[in-house]
Amino acid sequence: MTRRTRVRFAPSPTGPLHMGGVRTALYNYLYAKQKGGDFIIRIEDTDSHRFVPGAEQYIIEALRWCGIIPDEGVDAEGHVVEEASERHPHAPYRQSQRRGIYRKYAEQLVQGGFAYYAFDSSESLDAERKAAEAKGQTFIYNWQTRGRLRNSLTLPVEEVARLLEETTDWTVRFKMPEGRVVEMDDIIRGHISVDTATLDDKVLWKRADELPTYHLANIVDDHLMEITEVIRGEEWLPSLPLHYLLYEAFGWERPAFAHLPLLLKPVGNGKLSKRDGDKMGFPVFPLRWVSPEGETSRGYREDGYFPEAFVNMLALLGWNPGTEQEIFSMAELIEAFSLEKVGKSGAKFNPEKAKWFNREYLRMKSDAELAGLYSEVLAAHGVSAPPEYVEKVVGVIKDRATFVEDFWTAAPYLFVAPSGFVEKDVAKFLTPETTPCLTEVADWLNSHSGPHPESTPDIESHVRDNGWPMGKVMNAIRLALTGSASGLGIHEILSLIGPAEASRRISYLLNH
RNA sequence: GGUGGGUUCGUAUAACGGCUAGUACUCAAGAUUUUCAUUCUUGCAAUAGGAGUUCGAUUCUCCUACCCACUACCA
């Protein structure tokens, strides 16, 4: 009998979730949905020192914006569930609120001889590290050193009992075996083997704050929450042997593992970091983030990206369908996704491609939907216009935009008369040759502004019939209508703003 | 330093061990257009290096180089 697929995204609320984290969540989500299983959110806040207020809410909101909705762990209002219910049987989903359950598992490991109590102070361990460093070596708390350190393996039983009772800065450490090769399998990377002699005795539980470290909490909760596949970032690969050993020590069936490649910065080397975005002018976060210190980082949402485009772009960063299809709805992603086709190497994020995706999605949207979005932008610029008019405008300028905001920057003149003119273009097109033509056109347009608004005067034919130089006159007219010699077709502009307004603008330019 | 992972055009990627190494983004050129943009066409551009296995290697093995991650009482 096969178990129901259950995967989890387990972020640590130490700051905003960056796009790499979103991708990890997305892959988990796609996998779960494809298998008809559950996608669970668990908050791994076992480090009280690094807790950042607002981060947890940010993470949930960011996922929600992307359309990544958890089945379990977060309620309909976007709050992390604290009380168990049928839908959320494993509550609470915040590890800090589960602290009571980890200690017994740590004790169980000690009883079984898989772990031990360590009483070394952080100061003494720091001193060990410094001493080793001075000799050009690295201090490792493991089979080589644990025998001379202060722990339940070296201290008398009574002393251990006393310290356990009377002191509060001790920890439980995993007793990493010294001579074993752990054979592991990764869905993406295949077979991996590691010699435990090179590994250290990781801290599993801290008496000081009565909290587990990531490793223990992770394994215990994944087991308790019946997780079937662990899909996480590549940075966890080095601790996979420990996790294998932990499952073994508990005697639990372990989930399958898949370690995702990292997201790299667009230029140079190294993983994508918060600073790259600020430096190179693209967001690394899904949503804008204002740190408790007041520092602001931009977000894809606020930069005008559609969540579908952002998700689509992210999905293809490290995964491909094996076909040449590039545009995928969430439903199509769920259908096509497979961990086997996830790449092994880190992916450099390309901001240009992200824009391309947004442009594609913008074009797929209906004029009506876009008009609704554009109206908000217009309002922000202090402009209001009838919805029918905005929709017509959108239809005309859709192809020149990547973001909704571009509708405005590409053609503000469809709503407001140009307040100034590009001097270079004025010098080039407002010449003794074109001026009389403009004067004539202004009058001609006025004569067409009256009773029949349905038909737009054919200005091109008019210019041709008069035998004027087409390019020069048309550009002079465009200059009058838009403020510069580049932009939409004259006829299109005319059909939108009307002959009367066009005539007015031409007169204005002539008096300029 | 140690351990692990990785390496196909600038970027993302495709290629049962078998066509001239394909596609998309970017870039360049041309066509179309009253301008700009769009659109269309064309082009530039890659298997990190070296051995080995094989009739044949981008693909499998080994070595080297480079890149990345981890090496905390952080996740």
Q: Find, among A6, A10, A64, the residue nearest to A33 by Cα.
A: A6
Task: Provide the pLDDT for residue A454.
Answer: 62
- Separation of A436 CA and B50 C1' (Å): 76
Query: What is the pLDDT confidence band of residue A280, given thresholds at 50, 70 and 90?
Result: confident
pLDDT of A1 above 90: no
Taking C1' of B67 and every protein CA, the nearest residue is A269
Cα–Cα distances (Å) from A471 to A427, A429, A467, A468, A476, in that order, read 15, 9, 12, 9, 8
- Summarised one tens digit per residue, pLDDT across range A230-262 is 999 999 999 999 999 999 999 999 999 999 999
CB A312 within 8 A of CB A356: no
Query: What is the pLDDT confidence band of residue A265, given thresholds at 50, 70 and 90?
Result: confident
Taking C1' of B4 and every protein CA, the nearest residue is A238
pLDDT of A309 above 90: yes
CB A106 within 8 A of CB A216: yes
A352 touches strand B (CB under 7 A): yes
In the predicted model, what is the mean pLDDT of residues A460-488? 93
In the predicted model, what is the mean pLDDT of residues A461-481? 93
Task: Provide the pLDDT for residue A273.
Answer: 77
In the predicted model, what is the mean pLDDT of residues A175-201? 94
Tokens of A313: 């772009």
Query: What is the pLDDT confidence band of residue A455, given thresholds at 50, 70 and 90?
Result: confident
Q: What's the rounded Cα separation, in Å, for the pair A324 and A344?
A: 20
Q: Find, among A374, A436, A410, A377, the residue nearest to A492 by Cα.
A: A410
pLDDT of A501 above 90: yes
Task: Provide the pLDDT for residue A361.
Answer: 97
Percent of chain A with pLDDT over 90: 88
Q: Quick check: helix, strand or coil at residue A74? A: strand
Task: Look up A274 and say whether it is catalytic.
Answer: yes
pLDDT of A450 above 70: no
CA A77 vs. chain centroid, Å, equals 21
User: Model pTM?
Assistant: 0.95
Task: Provide the pLDDT for residue A63.
Answer: 98
Please report the DSSP string for A162-185 in residue order.
Answer: HHHHH-S--EEEE---SS-EEEEE
CATH, domain A98-260, list 3.90.800.10, 3.40.50.12160, 3.90.180.10, 2.70.98.10: 3.90.800.10
Task: Provide the pLDDT for residue A452.
Answer: 56
Helix orientation angle between A490-497 and A459-466, rounded to the nearest 10 degrees: 130
Nucleotides of B under 7 A from a protein CB: 1-8, 10-15, 22-26, 33-39, 67-75
Query: What is the pLDDT confidence band of residue A453, given thresholds at 50, 70 and 90?
Result: low
CB A439 within 8 A of CB A477: no
In the predicted model, what is the mean pLDDT of residues A185-196? 94
- Summarised one tens digit per residue, pLDDT across range A343-357 is 999 998 899 999 999
Q: Give residue numbers, 385 to 444 of A, with CB < 7 Å from strand B.
A: 399-400
Q: Find, among A272, A283, A260, the residue nearest to A348 by Cα.
A: A272
Contacts of residue A246, defined as CB under 8 A and 6 or more positions apart, other chains included, come to A174, A215, A216, A219
Nearest nucleotide, CA A239 to C1': B70
pLDDT of A382 above 60: yes
Q: How many other C-beta atoms lie within 10 A of the C-beta of residue A256?
A: 14
Look over chain A and give the mean of its residue pLDDT values, rounded to a whole number: 94
Query: What is the pLDDT confidence band of residue A264, given thresholds at 50, 70 and 90?
Result: confident
ipTM of the shown complex: 0.95
pLDDT of A57 above 60: yes
Q: Give residue numbers, 16 to 55 of A, with CB < 7 Å from strand B.
A: 44, 46-47, 49-50
Q: Give residue numbers, 317 to 336 of A, with CB < 7 Å from strand B.
A: 317-320, 322, 324, 326
For chain A, domain boundaries: 98-260, 365-410, 423-510
- Summarised one tens digit per residue, pLDDT across range A196-215 is 999 999 999 999 999 999 99
Taking C1' of B33 and every protein CA, the nearest residue is A489
Task: Provide the pLDDT for residue A375.
Answer: 97
Q: What's the rounded Cα separation, in Å, for the pair A94 and A431?
A: 72
Q: What's the rounded Cα separation, in Å, for the pair A270 and A115?
A: 36
Task: Provide the pLDDT for residue A166.
Answer: 95
Percent of chain A with pLDDT over 70: 99
Please report the DSSP string for A3-22 in residue order.
Answer: PPPEEEE----SS---HHHH
In the predicted model, what is the mean pLDDT of residues A364-391? 96
Task: Provide the pLDDT for residue A230.
Answer: 98
Residue A36: DSSP 8-state: T
CB A70 within 8 A of CB A39: yes
C-beta pairs of A321-327 under 8 Å, 24+ apart in sequence: A327/A357, A327/A360, A327/A361, A327/A364
A469 touches strand B (CB under 7 A): no
- Separation of A238 CA and B3 C1' (Å): 8
CATH 3.40.50.720 fits A423-510, yes or no: no
Task: Provide the pLDDT for residue A418.
Answer: 93
CATH of domain A365-410: 1.10.8
Query: What is the pLDDT confidence band of residue A488, given thresholds at 50, 70 and 90?
Result: very high
Q: What's the rounded Cα separation, in Å, for the pair A512 and A508?
A: 6
Q: What's the rounded Cα separation, in Å, for the pair A320 and A310?
A: 16
